C-alpha cells in the first residue's frame, strides 16, 4: 500500500518449528456472520507472498477516527509509517498436515481489528497451533466490513482490499467504524452488550472450525486460493483455548463462562469493566492474566482478583517496563521516540516483552491443554520467575479494598 521500508522495524517471525501461513475467512456476508484471519502451520514455499499488515485504507481511516485525528492527514502519516509493513506469514500457503493441532480463538482490543496481533498469532501457529483471530462486528473495531446484496445496476463498488474481494459479483461492501459513546450515554450497558456479542462471535468462529474439521463444506465468500478441505481432521478439538487483549481479555472471561469447549483462557492486559461480575462464579476453567506495568489500576486488578479460586488455577504476572500497547504489533513498527510519544512502546525492548508473554502463554497452554510438548521449560515464567517479570501485580491493593 505504501512505498516506505517500514523503517527497518519488523514484526517478529515465528520461532517455532513450523512455517506459518495465513488467510482470511468470511462465512456468510451479513454483519451477523463471521469474519476471521486464520493462522496455521503451512508447507514451506519459495518466495511466499506476505500480506500487508493493514489490509487497506479504510482501516487507516478507522484508526484515525478512533484516535480522533484528521483522516486525510493521518492516512498520509500511517501510510508513511506502516504502509509497506508485512505480516511474517505466507498468504494462503498450503496447509501442512501433521497430526492434530490444538486451537486458539483470539479476540482483539478496542479500536483494533483482526491483523493487529500478528506477532502473537504467528508465534503460536509456528509452535503448532491453529489460530483464528476474529474481527468483531460489535462496533468496537476501529473498522470492519461485511457485504450486502447488490440490487441496483451500475452502483456496485468493489472492495478496496485486494485480498478481500467477494466471490459473488452481486455483493457490495459495507464498512462499519468504531462507535464512540454518545453524549450522556452510560458506558457499562454498551460495553456489556458488546462483550456478550464478542463472545458469541468467538463461539461462532469455533463452530466453523468444527465444521471444517469434520469435512463439512464451508463456503468462504471471499475469493481465496486456500483450500479449507485440506484442514479436515487436522484439529484437536478437545484442546481449545481462548486468548485476547484488553477488551479481548474481557471477551476471554465471557467466552469461558459461555462455552466449556474453551479449556482455558489467556487474558493480556484485560480491561475488566465490560463484564458483569455475576458471571464470575460460572467460570470454571484456568485463567492466566498477563499484565503490562503501566496500564493497570486498583479497581481493574480487584476485579481480576475476584476470579481467584482455591480450586481452579488462576495465575497473574506483570511484565516490567511494558505499556498497554506492548501486545499489539504497533510496538514493533514505530521508532523509539514516536513509539514512546504515542505510548506504543514501553521502557523494555518490545521483542523481549512479547517473547516473555508468548513463552509464558505456551507453558500455560501446555499445562492446561495437556500438550505433549516441551513448553514446560518455560514454566517458571508462569510464576513470574524472570528479571523482567513480577509475580502477580505491581499495583498495591489496600487491604480494605479486598
Which residues are known to be catalytic? 246, 269, 324
Residues written for the chain: 402
Contact present, 323 and 394 (Cβ < 8 Å): no
C-alpha cell of residue 350 = 518490545
Task: Please name every residue paired with 86 in a beta bridge, in sequence order, or none if there are none.
Answer: 52
End-to-end CA distance of the chain: 51
Report the alpha-carbon distance of residue 402 to residue 400 in Å, rounded: 6
The grid cell for 152 is 441496483
Q: Which residues contact 105 (CB under 8 A, 6 or more apart)?
A: 131, 132, 134, 202, 205, 206, 240, 241, 242, 243, 255, 262
How many alpha carbons lie under 13 Å from residue 312 in its C-beta half-sphere?
Answer: 18
DSSP secondary-structure letter at 182? P
Note whether 317 and 384 are within 8 A (CB).
yes
Tell me which residue has cell 493462522. 39
Could you give the CA distance from residue 147 to residue 149 in angstroms, rounded to a whole number?
7
Could you write out the DSSP letters of every residue in 263-294? -EEEEES---TTS-GGGGGG--S-EEEEEETT
Partners of 91 in the beta sheet? Answer: 22
Q: CB of 194 within 8 A of CB of 176?
A: no
Q: In what order do the strands lie in the sheet with 287-292?
A: 90-91, 19-27, 34-42, 130-134, 101-107, 235-245, 264-268, 287-292, 314-319, 389-391
CA 335-136-226 angle, 5° bins: 85
Output the nine-digit C-alpha cell for 44: 514451506
Amino acid at each position: 500500500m505504501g512505498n516506505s521500508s517500514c523503517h527497518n522495524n519488523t514484526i517478529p517471525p515465528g520461532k517455532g518449528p513450523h512455517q506459518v501461513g495465513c488467510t482470511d475467512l468470511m462465512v456468510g456476508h451479513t454483519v451477523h456472520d463471521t469474519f476471521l484471519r486464520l493462522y496455521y502451520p503451512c508447507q514451506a514455499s519459495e518466495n511466499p507472498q506476505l500480506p500487508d499488515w493493514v489490509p487497506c485504507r479504510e482501516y487507516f481511516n478507522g484508526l484515525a477516527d478512533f484516535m480522533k485525528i484528521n483522516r486525510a492527514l493521518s492516512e498520509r502519516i500511517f501510510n508513511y509509517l506502516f504502509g509497506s509493513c508485512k505480516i511474517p506469514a505466507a498468504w494462503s500457503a498450503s496447509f501442512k498436515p501433521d497430526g492434530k493441532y490444538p486451537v486458539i480463538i483470539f479476540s482483539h482490543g478496542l479500536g483494533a481489528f483482526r491483523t493487529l496481533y500478528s506477532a502473537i498469532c504467528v508465534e503460536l501457529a509456528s509452535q503448532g497451533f491453529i489460530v483464528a483471530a476474529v474481527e468483531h462486528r460489535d462496533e468496537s473495531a476501529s473498522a470492519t466490513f461485511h457485504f450486502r446484496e447488490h440490487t441496483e445496476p451500475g452502483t456496485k463498488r468493489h472492495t478496496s482490499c485486494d485480498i478481500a474481494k467477494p466471490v459473488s459479483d452481486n455483493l457490495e461492501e459495507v464498512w462499519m467504524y468504531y462507535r464512540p459513546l454518545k453524549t450522556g450515554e452510560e458506558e457499562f450497558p454498551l460495553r456489556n452488550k458488546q462483550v456478550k456479542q464478542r463472545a458469541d462471535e468467538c463461539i461462532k468462529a469455533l463452530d466453523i472450525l468444527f465444521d471444517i474439521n469434520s469435512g463439512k463444506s464451508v463456503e468462504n465468500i471471499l475469493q481465496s486460493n486456500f483450500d479449507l478441505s485440506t484442514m479436515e481432521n487436522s484439529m484437536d478439538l478437545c484442546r481449545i483455548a481462548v486468548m485476547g487483549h484488553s477488551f479481548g481479555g474481557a471477551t476471554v472471561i465471557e467466552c469461558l463462562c459461555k462455552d466449556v469447549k474453551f479449556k482455558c483462557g489467556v487474558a493480556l492486559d484485560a480491561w475488566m469493566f465490560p463484564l458483569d461480575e455475576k458471571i464470575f462464579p460460572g467460570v470454571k476453567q484456568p485463567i492466566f492474566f498477563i499484565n503490562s506495568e503501566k496500564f493497570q489500576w486498583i479497581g481493574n486488578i480487584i476485579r481480576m482478583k475476584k476470579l481467584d479460586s482455591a480450586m481452579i488455577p488462576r495465575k497473574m504476572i506483570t511484565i516490567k517496563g511494558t505499556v498497554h500497547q506492548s501486545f499489539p504489533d504497533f510496538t514493533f513498527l514505530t521508532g523509539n521516540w514516536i513509539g514512546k510519544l504515542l505510548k506504543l512502546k514501553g521502557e523494555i525492548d518490545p521483542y523481549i516483552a512479547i517473547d516473555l508473554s508468548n513463552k509464558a502463554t505456551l507453558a500455560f497452554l501446555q499445562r492446561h491443554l495437556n500438550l505433549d510438548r516441551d513448553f514446560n521449560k518455560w514454566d517458571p515464567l508462569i510464576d513470574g520467575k524472570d528479571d523482567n517479570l513480577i509475580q502477580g501485580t505491581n499495583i498495591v491493593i489496600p487491604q480494605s479494598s479486598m
